Amino acid sequence: MTKMLVVDDEIEICDFLKTFFEDRNYKVFTALNGETALKTIQQEKPSIVLLDIKMPGMDGIEVLKRIKTLHPATKVIMVTAIETRDKIDEATRLGADNYITKPLSLEYLETDVKDKLESLVK
């Protein structure tokens, strides 16, 4: 079963993403902040992370940096509300595998997740 981590400071967002991907046979972990996210990554080693950029405390960009240093193979999809071009460019430069904007199209998100995981297998 593929392990996925959803990081968002909005519990409801974590909630429905968990429901959606669990129904599609993923093992889903959730984290409401960067610190918890890094701990979960350390323990569970998920293949893919859905990562919100704007969060209190450690923000998504910082979490991305650490993931890519400690576990470079982990696929990271950035989830943004509205970000400036600069932020998105920074995320891409730091190794983010894609970014999607809120509100989310679950169908598109699923395709994208599958796509990233396939590239991981290859």
Partner 1 sequence: MCTAFIATLLYKSLDRLVLALFRKTFFKSHMGRLTALASASNVLIHTLDLKELSNLIVNTVAEIMNQRIAVLILWEKGRDKLWLASSSGLPVSSMNKIRFEKKDPLIPFLRKRRGLIEREKCLREFSWPDVYEISKGFELLGVQSILSILCEDTWMGFLGLSGKKGGEVFSSDEIKVLEDYGKAAGFALRNALYVDELKQTNEKLKDLQSKLLQTTKLAAIEQLASGIAHEIHNPLTIISGKAQILLLKKNKQLDEKTLEQSLKTIVKQTKRAADITRKLLMFSEPKSSGRDAIDFEGVVDDTISLISYQMTLDEITIRKTISKSLPPFKGEINEIREVFLNLILNAVQAVGRKGAIHIQIRYLERESLIEIKIQDTGRGIQAEYIPRLFNPFFTTREGGLGLGLFITQQIIHRYHGSIHIESEIGKGTVVVIHLPNSRTSWGDEPVPTDSQEIRV
Binding interface with partner 1 (CB under 8 A): 9-10, 12-13, 16-17, 19-20, 23, 54-57, 59, 81-82, 102-107
Place of tokens 């209190």: 56
- Least distance in angstroms from the C-beta of 82 to partner 1: 5
Closer to partner 1 by Cβ: residue 19 or 92: 19
Q: Which two tokens stand for residue 118?
A: 């396939």
Closer to partner 1 by Cβ: residue 14 or 49: 14
- Least distance in angstroms from the C-beta of 29 to partner 1: 18
Q: Which two tokens stand for residue 114?
A: 């599958």
79, 112 Cβ separation under 8 angstroms? no
Where do the DSSP E strands lie in 1-122?
2-7, 26-31, 48-52, 75-80, 98-101
- Least distance in angstroms from the C-beta of 16 to partner 1: 4
